[in-house]
Amino acid sequence: MIADPVRVMLCDDSAVTRSALSRIVESDPLLRIVARSGDGQQALTEVSRRVGNQPIDVLLLDIEMPVMDGLTAIPLLLRADPRLRILVVSSHTTTGADTALRALHLGAADYVTKPSAREDANSELFEQEFLAKVRGQAKLARNALGMSAPGAKPGDRRMTLRPMASEPPELLAIGSSTGGPQALFMLMKDLGRRLRVPAVLTQHMPPNFTTLLSEHLGRVSGIPCREATDGEPLAAGTLLMAPGDRHMVIESSGSGFRARLSDGPQVNFCRPAVDPMFRSAAVATGGRMLAVVLTGMGQDGLAGTTAVIEAGGTALAQDETTSVVWGMPGAIAQAGLCHAVLPLPSMAAKILELTRQS
């Protein structure tokens, strides 16, 4: 028996969904379901009861439920236990992406879709990402208490950092995946309207989600932010986001740059992917760019960051402590490609420091 495993609670009015999610969660020996409920009021009662004594680490929360729905429950749950990490689990995160983004704004940590809503998806890949999100959110919950999550192996994380590039960046390019939406909310809010260079973003997300995420990022930051269109010029202080299911590459265009969209094959099992954006931007800018890799599974961004560094550019990675999953940023950090590895709250200040040189 593993000491003090991650405590997970399920809140969904569907017994079928609770059973399906239970099977996935309990396949991981580091996770344990300690409570189940069928509506938000029951969840609130249970979370409140456990504060200070075996508190819930991660709550898997449905949106549409009787008595109290998920959106109503989120702020009340976080008021009862501010360290609680809420994963919204609902078919509405596919058919109604706006609901998922509203949940994130209310304080939910992330979202996943119900297995029944992903009939076209590879179930094994879904389960891997689902469990990674649960484990990652549990890590952040335990960090809030100064505790390590079960199975955490800090190990030797000494990394070789590179000296900052001498040429100031003309472009900011950001890549993110698992845990990315909330990380992007914080980063873009901290950047605000102070960004002086064009910015591009690839977040692993399906269509509709990218449209709405770009709109939400614009609202929280004040930075003009939207999905890119094919051939659109990049503008200083504006963020263009790769649309779901399309790669975004960057080309030089006169004295500036433009975004081009591609329906090419998946890269690193993703479309959009970070590598094509980074590689093309390195060529377009002649290396005068800043690549930022935030939380995410896998190694998308590693090959692209290598191209950025070889061209003379600069790379930053989110640190392990603040990442939901330290896959993508960890890959470039441990490959010795980073000029700095930073906690998320410090990332915007470093970006502004570097881009203000230009």
In the Cβ-directed half-sphere of 228, how many Cα atoms lie within 13 Å? 33
Count Cβ atoms below 10 Å from residue 343 Cβ, excluding itself. 12
Contact 274, 304 (CB under 8 A): yes
pLDDT on residue 1: 38
SS3 249: strand
Write down the pLDDT at residue 314: 97
Lowest mean pLDDT among 141-145, 156-160, 242-246, 261-265: 156-160
% of the chain beyond a pLDDT of 90: 75
Q: Do domains 6-144 and 172-355 have the same CATH topology?
A: yes
- The model's pLDDT over 307-346, given as tens digits with 9 standing for 90+, comes to 999 999 999 999 999 999 999 999 999 999 999 999 999 9
Q: What is the pLDDT of residue 117?
A: 47
Helix axis angle for 180-191 and 209-221, nearest 10°, is: 30
What's the CA gap between 92 and 17, in Å, rounded?
A: 14
DSSP symbol at 46 = H
| Confidence grade of residue 143 (pLDDT, cut at 50, 70, 90) | confident
Distance CA 265, CA 268 (A): 10
Nearest Cα to Cα of residue 280 among 141, 166, 126, 171 = 171
Superfamily of domain 172-355: Methylesterase CheB, C-terminal domain (3.40.50.180)
3-state SS class at 278? helix
* Residue 65 phi, psi dihedral angles, 5° rounding: -145, 160
Using alpha carbons only, how large is the chain's radius of gyration in Å?
20
Per-residue pLDDT of 178-221, as tens digits, reads 999 999 999 999 999 899 999 999 999 988 889 999 999 999 99
This prediction has a pTM of 0.91
Alpha-carbon separation of residue 313 from 184, 230, 234, 316 (angstroms) = 22, 25, 19, 10
Strand 247-253, strand 314-318: pairing? unpaired
Phi and psi angles of residue 316, each rounded to the nearest 5 degrees, phi first: -125, 145
Q: Indicate whether 94 pLDDT > 60.
A: no
Residues above pLDDT 70, as percent of the chain? 90
What value does the mean pLDDT of the chain take? 90
Q: Is 273 left (phi over 0), alpha (psi -120 to 50) or beta?
A: beta
Q: What is the pLDDT of residue 199?
A: 98
Which residues are the active-site residues? 177, 204, 300
- The CATH number given to 6-144 is 3.40.50.2300
pLDDT, position 93? 56
The structural domains of the chain, with segments of one domain joined by +, span: 6-144, 172-355
Higher pLDDT, 159 or 104: 104
Place of tokens 């058919």: 95
Residues 235-292 pLDDT 10s: 999 999 999 999 999 999 988 999 999 999 999 999 999 999 999 999 999 999 999 9
What is the Cα–Cα distance from 316 to 324, expressed in whole angstroms?
17
List, as one string, the DSSP characters of 293-331.
Answer: E-SBSS-TTHHHHHHHHHTT-EEEEE-TTT-S-BSHHHH
Residue 60's pLDDT band (cuts 50, 70, 90): very high
